[in-house]
Amino acid sequence: MNKLLYPFAAALILAGSAFTFIAAQNWQIADGYSIAFTSDDASGIFKGFKGNIAFDEQTPATAKFDVTIDVSSINTGNGLQNKHAKSDEWFDAAKFPVIHYTSQKVTKTASGWLATGDLEIHGVKKSTPIPFTFKKTATGGLFAGTFTVNRNDFKLGKPGGDVGEQIKLDISVPVNK
């Protein structure tokens, strides 16, 4: 009986270890990224962005995005608007210094990829799908995506205020191996 158990255990260990070598490619965020936002009334960019990106087109189940945006790096092109956006009336950068996104799942779509995960803004966490594309380059790749969030979902500003509720985000992130 024990003689039968050893080959079975060895086969189980060998089969299990085969799956441990499947891992996503880790990417380093390169200079030249762009995190832009637009609405009917306001637009700008965030200049502070960092995080960890693991992605392999062949194994999307192993992909993971864990990134943050520095709220105080907001730039609308208007100093007074920047100060107002960082205030407790909007982002409250002193209390909530980062916007955080952590993917839970990445799947292939007809036009690229879809990351579904938790987006946390202003202390409110919401499941958010982010469609994106990935193009390999000679030294790495480029992630790009566009999606819309409703600022009221994250308690940003006053509902129905002077700024539109739908905020479009355009993201372009070059990466290196």
DSSP string spanning the chain? Answer: -HHHHHHHHHHHHHHHHHHHT--PPEEEEPTT-EEEEE-SS-EEEE--EEEEEE--TT-GGG-EEEEEEEGGGEE-S-HHHHHHHHSTTTT-TTT--EEEEEEEEEEEETTEEEEEEEEEETTEEEEEEEEEEEEE-SSEEEEEEEEEEEGGGGT-S-TTSSS-SEEEEEEEEEEE-
Confidence of residue 74 (pLDDT cuts 50, 70, 90): very high
Q: Decide if pLDDT at 25 tops 70.
A: yes
For tokens 């803004």, the residue is 121
Quote the pLDDT of residue 31.
Answer: 95
Structural domains in the chain, sorted by start: 24-176 (2.40.128.110)
Residue 160 burial (10 A CB sphere; 0-12, 13-18, 19+) = exposed
> How far is CA 123 from each of CA 91, 160, 165, 171, rounded to the nearest angstrom?
9, 20, 18, 22
Quote the pLDDT of residue 4.
Answer: 45
Quote the pLDDT of residue 160.
Answer: 74
Q: Decide if pLDDT at 11 tops 50.
A: no
Quote the pLDDT of residue 135.
Answer: 97
Q: Decide if pLDDT at 126 tops 70.
A: yes
pTM of the model: 0.84
Average pLDDT over residues 35-50: 94
Quote the pLDDT of residue 20.
Answer: 41
For tokens 């024990």, the residue is 2
Residues 44-63 pLDDT 10s? 999 999 999 999 999 999 99
